[in-house]
A and B are shown apart, each in its own frame.
Chain A
Amino acid sequence: SQTIHQWPATLVQPVGSPLSLECTVEGTSNPNLYWYRQAAGRGLQLLFYSVGIGQISSEVPQNLSASRPQDRQFILSSKKLLLSDSGFYLCACGLGGETQYFGPGTRLLVL
């Protein structure tokens, strides 16, 4: 079964600073990968998804971008963080549109 790693676990960044969150997957190949954000402890919002290397689809316009440089690596980035980027970021992995599994998440606080 697949294992999803995310780092860092927590991050405190000043407004205007850059961001890079990393997600890696073990135990599977060619997965669909997803970034979600959870704000205020309720409800997850899909940010990006990828069905393959270099293929990124965005669900909402925002201050963030995503990249997939390798089959099992998914990166979430920002050039300049906003206060509203604070939240809990979760990476997920799915196969063929069925069950999605989630990583442990990264808590981001922008001050």
Chain B
Amino acid sequence: GIQVEQSPPDLILQEGANSTLRCNFSDSVNNLQWFHQNPWGQLINLFYIPSGTKQNGRLSATTVATERYSLLYISSSQTTDSGVYFCAVGGGADGLTFGKGTHLIIQP
């Protein structure tokens, strides 16, 4: 099956810093999503981005489908950005394959 690798696995930053999270995948996909899992376990949709670039406030994402990677940018980090960020890929109705996530800690 398709492989999804996320890097870095852990990231500790000071409040106000910028960060870039990376997701590499092993095959072409029709669906790529970024999620933020909050401390209560809820998975919050950030982006549906199988290709191209999107921005939402301080967050933006870029997927280069031909090179099989996606990047999530977080600017001016806040402590509420802490949590685990997941990249997940898939196609059709078969469900998503998740990476192992990036554990982000933003220190005040």
Contact = CB atoms under 8 A, between A and B. Distances in A.
18 contacts: A34-B96, A38-B41, A41-B84, A43-B98, A43-B101, A44-B98, A45-B98, A46-B95, A46-B96, A46-B97, A57-B94, A59-B95, A97-B30, A97-B93, A99-B48, A100-B96, A104-B40, A107-B41
A102 B31 contact: no
Contacts of A94: 93
A90 interface: yes
B90 A102 contact: no
Nearest to A88: B41
A46 B45 CA distance: 17
A108 interface: no
Most A C-beta atoms less than 10 A away, residue of B41, B90, B97, B101: B41
Contacts of A98: 31, 48
Nearest to B91: A97
Contacts, number: 61
Query: Chain A: interface residue count, which band?
Result: 20 to 34
Interface in B6-56: 30-31, 33, 35, 40-43, 45, 48
Contacts of A44: 86, 88, 96, 98
B65 to A, nearest CB: 15
A99 B86 contact: no
Given A42-B101, A105-B41, A107-B41, A97 B92 contact: yes
B68 interface: no
Contacts of B91: 97
Contacts of B93: 32, 49, 51, 94, 97
Nearest to B97: A46
A42 B96 CA distance: 15
Nearest to A32: B93
Interface in B71-100: 84, 86, 88, 90-100
